[in-house]
Amino acid sequence: MLQRDWRLLWLFFCILFVVHALGAPIISSEQLHQKYNVDYLFKYKYLNEMPTINDIDQIITGLKKFQEDVGLPVTGEMTKQTRDLMDRPRCGMTDMNDKSRRTKRFVPHHSKWRKRTLIWRLDDPYELLTDYDRFVVRTTLHRAFNEWSEASQKALQFKENENSTGIAHINIFFAHGDHNDSLPFDGMAGVVAHGFYPTNGNLHFDAAEHWTLHMDNGINLFQTAVHEIGHLLGLEHSTDYNAVMFPINRPYDPMFRLGDDDIRGIRYLYAPWAWTACNILIDTWENLICIMLLRHCFFYLNVNLVERKAPDVHKVVELDENFVATIFHLHVFD
């Protein structure tokens, strides 16, 4: 009898071992999602698809990506620092994770504006703004747009359309919850705003937030507007904590300004000379000298006009929109 009991006990432990080896869940799916904040990782594209209970390795990989992008120790564990950052108010646009494009901290989107003067308008489709609100918001938006105009060295200009009709490349409004753009707001904290990439031109603020200026409490309207306008112009989220395009909101900063990473990003997209084949300067009667800025590299072209001979072709550089520039005597100064 005793021998039989030992056999049954041995069989029980064998079955238990096999079940565990096959990956039987030791916690529920709901517990797993809560432990690793899976919904957050999926929402902001650190996970390509909603994982199952058996995809723990995929979840940990996504968590590590998040920790890397926000500058935390990459542990794959839901540390207090990690949870605290996830709980902070933030932009509603996703955090792109195509590492092949992260040769720079700033990440340019695949689209940008072809116009250099953009017209914006503050709308109020849900009738949420008083006259005073409109005045304060419009004044703040003028300041925010000017930050990017200055950073682009005036390559970008912004004008307001104060009327409810007429041309507006950029439309801005406040809304609650679902507002017909597939990205509903979630109430106070959480997602505070989102600005869509060119040439969509829509920027929405969550009306449920406590919007403030020049004070520590609430969500700073100016700082948020500058961030979202960066998206409107074609910049994705940056992994540089000091960049305005960092995805997570920071407290009010009286010394707030665009970071070096933001400036590099906007000039990459809208460098003043990037839209002209070259700035022609006459050095002597015998030479035509052109200087061109292309992707932050200076190219020096020297073409002899006296002999009227076709110069040798040293390099062909293909630009956006299939524009091809032939470069002679290539010298890179950057």
Q: Does the pLDDT at position 297 exceed 60? A: no
Backbone phi, then psi, for 213, in 5-degree steps? -140, 140
- What band does 4 get if pLDDT is binned at 50, 70 and 90? low
pLDDT of residue 31: 84
Q: Does the pLDDT at position 292 exceed 70? A: no
Pick the CATH number of 117-270 from 3.40.50.300, 3.40.50.720, 3.40.390.10, 3.10.20.340: 3.40.390.10
142 is in an annotated binding site: no
204 is in an annotated binding site: yes
What confidence tens digit (pLDDT) does each residue in 6-16 have?
665 666 666 65
228 catalytic per annotation? yes
- What band does 321 get if pLDDT is binned at 50, 70 and 90? very low
Q: Does the pLDDT at position 153 exceed 60? A: yes
Q: Does the pLDDT at position 205 exceed 70? A: yes
pLDDT of residue 317: 43
98 is in an annotated binding site: no
Structure-model confidence comparison of residues 255 and 275, the more confident one:
255
209 is in an annotated binding site: yes
pLDDT of residue 299: 45
Q: Using alpha carbons, list the distances in angstroms from residue 7 to 1, 18, 220.
A: 10, 17, 69
**Region 84-108: what's the mean pLDDT?**
75
**Region 282-291: what's the mean pLDDT?**
41
pTM of the predicted protein model: 0.75
Percentage of the chain beyond pLDDT 70 is 69
Each domain of the chain, given as residue ranges in start order, spans: 25-87, 117-270, 279-327
331 is in an annotated binding site: no
Q: Which two tokens stand for residue 130?
A: 């008083």
DSSP annotation string for 222-263: HHHHHHHHHHHHTB---S-TTSTT-SB-----TT----HHHH
Q: Does the pLDDT at position 325 exceed 50? A: no
Q: Which of 228, 236, 307, 321 is catalytic?
A: 228
DSSP annotation string for 116-135: SEEEEEE--TT----HHHHH
pLDDT of residue 27: 64
**Region 194-222: what's the mean pLDDT?**
97
| Best CA proximity match to 64, nearest among 106, 101, 97 | 97
181 is in an annotated binding site: yes
Q: Does the pLDDT at position 21 exceed 90? A: no
178 is in an annotated binding site: no
pLDDT of residue 148: 98
210 is in an annotated binding site: no
Q: Does the pLDDT at position 307 exceed 80? A: no
